[in-house]
Structure 1
């Protein structure tokens, strides 16, 4: 009787750490539930450390902004934990256009400069404010939201998410960076065809 109990106890001790975390195996495909777990013997402390948020992103692009993610794909230690982070850099005039995160709510903390941020509820109520250093703002899961640097100098913020893979869909890119026929875009947005073609040309869409 003692031996089976002892054996079970030893087995629990040898496998208990596996229930503590599930470091993502980035060599395996990602599913809606996340990555499969890396084998315990291959897990190292480096899987739980990410240093990429200490460097400013490159803002020399059309939106004058950069997002540096620390999601499960970059930071396998957060796989399965329901959390992740990102760094947001905005040059003067930089903007993160209206976008959604289908899989997570978001909390933004401004650490430098000022950022106008806001979201639109499903009832089309608008909530926005100019955030200063030290201010935080929450964006509920799935709602359209934006961040804009209206100041004359760079702004920085750090963002946390309630998912290791929050997902991202930028509204402008969804409309104008694809091959959806211009006639359909016009019919569903009430925009002028010439304007749609211009935006597709800027963002890389066709048709």
Structure 2
């Protein structure tokens, strides 16, 4: 009886481990070009599949990452996203990518997280100060200055950022381990939620005056 219980526990542990590591649905066929079909079925985790016989080379092709993004905004950066919504051929493949353009002298991709993916960043042009912070209780900062040709990785779910510390434009490309990694920009989520978080809650959490919190909420 003990051996049976042990075997059952082992199987359950193995199953839990496999589920915990499967952030995206695993492919059971060569490809599953995503389509938005609202007439039949239900949306579960991804998209419905186009009939493989109807797939074309264009389903596996994306054009435009050579085009610079507009960095004329408050944070001085622009992220061009290539996930399953823009590129249906990525469906079930567990990957996506972005191009990030940074304005000179402080253009930044502000602190954010990807809830469903790790990220590996490649610098093509410019000089970036990048980093991520580990989880509680240590909150250790791992940071580095990157130059063209350098690569840095951001683990899944951890707050990370990039800042252009050079005097010229900077460009980076990143690959992410999910067809739809998601992004939560910390400042936007905290101070720009809809409806707003009670200012008293944020004032205590950030050790700020309530008036300061209210002012920040107006900006976001």
Q: What is residue 90 of structure 1 aligned with on the other side?
A: 102
Once the 2 structures are TM-superposed, how far is the Cα of residue 30 of structure 1 from its aligned partner? 9.4
Maintained 8 Å contact 2:113/2:159: yes
The residue aligned with 1:128 is 143
Question: 1:193: how far off?
Answer: 1.7
Q: Secondary structure at the match of 1:80?
A: coil
Alignment of 1:31-110 (within 5 A): 33-92=45-104, 93-110=106-123
RMSD: 1.8
- Cα separation, 2, equivalents of 1:128 and 1:31: 39
**TM-score in terms of structure 2 length:** 0.80
Give the match for residue 31 of structure 2: 21
Residue in structure 2 matched with residue 141 of structure 1 by the alignment: 156
Matches of 1:192 and 1:37, distance apart in 2:
52
Q: 1:182: how far off?
A: 1.2
Change (3 A) 1:50 1:26: farther
Divergent runs of 4+, >4 A: 27-32
Cα deviation code 1:81-123 (max 9, x no counterpart): 0111100000012111111001000000000001110001113
2:123–2:147 CA contact under 8 A, matched in 1: yes
Given the alignment, which residue of 175, 178, 191 partners 2:190? 175
Shift of 1:31: 5.1
Q: Is the 8 A contact 1:103 1:141 kept in 2?
A: yes
Does the CA contact (< 8 Å) of 1:82 and 1:164 recur in 2? Answer: yes
Q: Unpaired runs of 5+ in structure 1? A: 1-17
Deviations 1:118-158 (A, max 9, x none): 00111311100110000000000000000101111110000
Alpha-carbon distance in structure 1 between the residues aligned to 2:160 and 2:44 = 23
Q: What's the offset of the Cα at 1:32? A: 6.2
Using the TM superposition, give the Cα deviation of residue 47 of structure 1 relative to its aligned residue in structure 2, in angstroms.
0.9
**Counterpart selection for 1:154 from 165, 169, 189:** 169
The gaps in structure 2 that reach 5 residues or longer are 1-27
Distance 2:50 2:204 in 1: 48
Give the paired residue count: 186
